[in-house]
Structure 1
Amino acid sequence: MIYGRLPDNDLLVTARLPGTHQAASGTILPLTVDPAHIHLFDKKTGRRLK
């Protein structure tokens, strides 16, 4: 699992990656996302947005 923030805003991101990856805290990683696999959640309720 990778936890971080998107550049230029305060959005938190959690990404599950295949295999084993190690990165030191503060490392900037390139990340591309297939829109079909994005899951967004309501900040107040924690429920997934459709």
Structure 2
Amino acid sequence: MRGNNYKQIAYLSGLSTRTVEGYVATAVRKLKAHNRTEAILRALELGYINSI
């Protein structure tokens, strides 16, 4: 969500902060990344997202 923190993402998505944290953790793990930034880069490389 373009540089927003978990709380901001949760608010904009209508989800709880804990839900967002869980979704991000799952995505990071599945992309075999070490953090959110690396996960975004891998998703871009793999074509899962088009741009940031």
The TM-score bracket by the shorter chain reads under 0.3
Between Structure 1 and Structure 2, which shows a larger proportion of helix residues?
A: 2
TM-score by length of 1: 0.18
TM-score by length of 2: 0.18
Structure of higher CA gyration radius:
1
Between Structure 1 and Structure 2, which shows a larger proportion of strand residues?
A: 1
